[in-house]
Amino acid sequence: MQKYPDNLWTTPEICSLNRIPARATLHPYPTQQLALNRSPKESPWYISLDGDWKFQLVDNPCHKTAEDFISPKFDVSGWEDIYVPGNWTTQRFDKPWYTNVLMPFDNYPPNVPEDNPTGLYRLDFKLPKDWRGRRVVIHFGGVESAFYVFLNGHFVGFAKDSRTPSEFDLTPYLQAAGNTLAVKVIRWSDGSFLEDQDHWWMAGIHREVYLTSTEDVHIADVFAHGTQEGDLTLELNASFNGKQPQPNWAFVTKLFDQNQEEIEEGASETQIPPSLGAGAGNRGNRCELKLKIQNPKPWSDETPNLYTLLVGLKNPEGNIVEWTSTRIGFRTIAIKDRQLLINGKPVLFKGVNRHDFHERFGKTVPRETMLQDIHLLKQFNFNAVRTAHYPNDPYWYDLCDEFGILLIDEANIEAHHYYGNLCDDPRWTNAFLYRGINMVQRDKNHPSVIQWSLGNETGFGTNHTALAGWIRKKDPSRLIHFEGVLTPFRQGFCGWPDNVGIDATDIIAPMYPDIKNLEDWSKNSKDHRPLIPCEYSHAMGNSNGNLKEYWDAFENLPGLQGGYIWDWVDQGLLNLDDQNREYWSYGGDYGDTPNDKNFCINGMIWPDRTPHPSMYEFKKLVQPVKVTPISLNQPAFAIKNKRWFTTLDDLDASWTLSTGQRTIQEGAINLDNVQPQGEITFTIDDLQMPELLPGEETFITFSFKLKHDADWAKEGHEVAWEQVMMPFSAPPDRPASPEGRLQLKKSTPTMEVVGRHFKLQIDRTLGRIKSFSWRDKALILDGPKLNLWRGVTDNDGVKAWSGQHWKPLGKWLKAGIDQLQLKTVTCDVETIDGGAVVADFCNIWTGTDEDAPICHQHRYLILPDGEILVENLVTIDGKLPDLPRVGVTMTLAPALENLTWFGRGPHESYIDRKAGARLGVFQGTVSEQYVPYVMPQEHGNKTDVRWMALEAGPDDAGLLFQAENRLLECSASHFTPDDLFKAMHINELDPRSEVFVYLDYAQRGLGGASCGPDTLPKYRLQPGLYSFSYRIRPYTAN
């Protein structure tokens, strides 16, 4: 057996052996038309190796089988099949492993455990006859984390870097009769210390594998850069495959627009200067061209105009022996006056961080899922992505080019466990450079790439500076981004001094800044660079509070220009429990220890790509149209186009005057020729003064929808909306006191109030209503009673973690907010003049500190027709922490499943996340209010509620809850807060048959404190006095 270098997986100085230099994603074609089509599978010089391979997992790289399987004679017929591309950790072998900061093992770098799972892959293939005598290259799109390649028993090469391609020349080892490819993939390597990136540790060949064929003399690389002004710079590289360069070879270029029409100025032919001789002038087999394209259509996020560059290689006989192609865009990037300019405009970055992730396939993301991601981004008004924390799949960049997504392309470098260590270690310098160069070389032709990132959360050291220097020399057309210059030795707010790290970043890119620090920086900094947070608004569970305040700052404060939410998709792996119920798993569910539990569940969308409610908040805040009232009595409105490059001609606009329940008047708006950043005034000259019913309010809703189908959404998709309250309303109906006299039956411990159609029982011991029935139908089974607790959110405190004592959750548990004890009750129930009954209660509750009481005074005015006016006064002792909520809860009969409310909807909303929920009357079932956050927690809240009704169905009984002295927050659920708090996965939740109703003065805001700032002080519920009232009205449906 051929000897080959071993232990390379723990040698950081060696990143690869025999690997072809990194280059752009290019494919060889025999004809110009095939190159123009850009479909490599149509090329006769391309063979995909994706599919079933033979596979065996062994304990470590030195296992005997890991040596023997290299031989073609080794029998693998008994091995299992595995699909490539794919992680073996999602295909029944080994286990996924999630950590955020900690390495999964204790070994100090560069050492890794001896118990090191190693995947052995085998595939037999045979080449077409017309490939004989030609050069054959194998391409591995991504392999985690280090791997050896063998062909027909011969060592071919070795590589690290799990997220960029590695290519090897197979030509010397090919056999005409057939070939045996063997790949040994090692799970843990020194490269793992640079891939500690807050995602699942997987393993295997997770991106595509294919073969290409060229002549010995071939196109090695193409680098094209076009500016907004039409300056096209080309760097074209040929390779003579290690042989003596020959004269009279030439490059031919052609340029085509999106309609495949040739652009005359893009045609050229240039002799390739052979790299002969020594000294100055020997630039390799490289051509550097500058062409001038007249009036190109610029590329931007709003106008993703693409051109196809064809490059041909002409031999000395005048024949073109190879074509290749790449798409390019014309755009200019610059920094000026604290602004990042794209084609001269200070575009706001409406961004999000994105991992490659799929709920079934792990790091292997199907193309249809990537397209789904792109559609969702565009539909929800995102325009930017940070490829966290590594170069994503190459197809992602093609989609971003096509649809207009601005990219921060991030090098596969994060040494979070060894923060500030490896970045200054010279043994790792080559690895830093290698990974950054791999990224730049692969993605350099993509116009969507606006910034190169030096990596993430690794500190800041000389290795970063070295990489920044290489990138600046290679590609001065783009900017460099690096957050680590702000926190070189430790994480946290260290101030953002002027000109910090100016050699290594063109952007001030903090993580999780609070709004006050952003305001101070904008006001006081003299730095010429813009501040664009690379991570903010941590989207873990029910989250993204305070987004409105962030975007108020981004849009209005000098030097701020948007940011990137963390992050896109919940990294929950789909699983089945022993009862065949689906749930999403997270760290620790596979016996992976140590782990960081559900800290990987922090996306704006669920693992199946369903949008979280917070997506609608973001969509509204960053929408491209703004409506501002000028006058309401004689309605006039300013409509602003917030786009930078396009008009609003693609949108239909309309307005509707409504009460929420009924439409009063509607009309269309002419948006013709509203220029970028332009504004028009729209007036409603014939607005009809509505005749309102009691309790009705009026508001105008503006809607802006796609006029025609777009690539990313259908005609009629709503791009933007706005609501304006109008000064027309009618007071609520206050009918005359109903006739009749109630019967009050006093006894111990239960009292009864009986009316013509209802019966109400009072528990004098507990100091609350025990039950309420209407027309012999039980409606209220218990309550109202005081409720301060909620199914805590991840921002309240990560309940799967220890050490949360300093978070709100820890403070609440310490104070016993989850287990309040009723200490004293006073009860006074009397009949008053007119036949009504008044029940007065005073309940004193305590948590763990009996000297910190909570007093709930609640009064019930019970009228003869069954209507009840409820007044609440809650006094919270000052020694208690700020609270999850202040309100009451009651248990209703299971039949009351149908829910209607007048407030914000249709999705959940919270006091610090309600801009994206419009006002109206909404309907659904109680079951439909469940929001299946991967970690069960508080959900389904409704804000600014005027009334909420629950009923069993047509012609059946119902209950109406109507706000009195202030608007309420309300919800209805089949789960209690304790149910949500105890459950760790969605399959552990069993809906109760009863309906639990929550009527709140308010809930605490959501914030983003799972990793970042808490909700703002104005959205917290501090100890003190809280007063709220509501009416309960029984009724018969219809």
Helix then strand then coil, in percent of the chain rounded to 5, is 15, 40, 50
Give the β-pairing of 743-745 and 146-151: unpaired
Return the exposure string of 274-303: e unless at least 16 CB atoms fall within 10 Å of the residue's CB, then b. beeeeeeeeeebbbeeebebeebbbbbbbb
CATH architecture for residues 333-619: Alpha-Beta Barrel (3.20)
Helix (H) or strand (E) holding 402: helix 394-403
> What is the reported pLDDT for 499?
94
d(CA 358, CA 365): 6
DSSP annotation of 358: B
Scanning the structure block, which residue is given the tokens 């005073």? 842
Q: What's the rounded Cα separation, in Å, for the pair 390 and 452? A: 11
Residues 213 and 143: beta-carbon distance below 8 Å? no
Which two structure tokens, joined as six digits, stand for 921?
């009357």
CA–CA dist 961, 947 (Å, integer): 5
DSSP conformation class of 535 = B
Q: Tell whether domain 8-214 is in CATH 2.40.40.20.
A: no
Residue 694 tokens, joined: 């009691």
Separation CA 870–CA 839 (nearest Å): 10
How many other C-beta atoms are found inside a 10 Å radius of the C-beta of residue 462? 13
Which residues are known catalytic residues? 457, 535
Three-state SS at 8 = helix
* C-alpha atoms less than 13 angstroms from C-alpha of 1008 in its C-beta half-sphere: 28
Sign for the CA dihedral angle at 512, 517, 521, 523 comes to positive
Superfamily grouping for domain 623-729: Immunoglobulins (2.60.40.10)
Three-state DSSP class for residue 579: coil
Check for a shared fold between 333-619 and 747-1036: no
Q: Round to whole Å and give the CA distance between 541 and 1006.
A: 10
- Cis peptide bond upstream of 567, omega within 30: yes
Q: What six digits make up the tokens of 725?
A: 């309250």
- Contact 951/958 with Cβ under 8 angstroms? yes
CA 295 vs CA 99, 229, 269, 402, 515: distances in Å:
50, 7, 22, 20, 42
Nearest 10 degrees: CA dihedral of 266, 272, 275, 276?
-150
Fold classified for 747-1036 = Beta-galactosidase; Chain A, domain 5 (2.70.98)
pLDDT of res. 495: 82
Residue 277: name the closest of 250, 244, 251 by CA.
244
Reading phi first (left if > 0) and then psi (alpha if -120 to 50, else beta), residue 776 is in left
Q: How far apart are CA 478 and CA 229, in angstroms?
A: 16
How many H helices and E strands in the chain?
11, 59
Q: Is 5 exposed, middle or buried, given 0-12, 13-18 or 19+ CB atoms closer than 10 A?
A: exposed
d(CA 888, CA 1006): 20
Q: How many CB atoms lie within 10 A of CB 269?
A: 10
Q: Is 773 helix (H, G, I), strand (E, B) or coil?
A: strand
Identify the segments of the chain with pLDDT beneath 50: none
The predicted structure's pLDDT at residue 735: 64
Domain ranges of the chain: 8-214, 333-619, 623-729, 747-1036
pLDDT tens string 147-200: 999 999 999 999 999 999 999 999 999 999 999 999 999 999 999 999 999 999
Question: Count of residues for the chain?
Answer: 1038
Element holding 811 (H helix, E strand): helix 808-815
Task: Tell me, rounded to whole angstroms, the distance of Cα 855 from its chain centroid.
Answer: 42
* Backbone φ, ψ for residue 216 (5° rounding): -55, -45
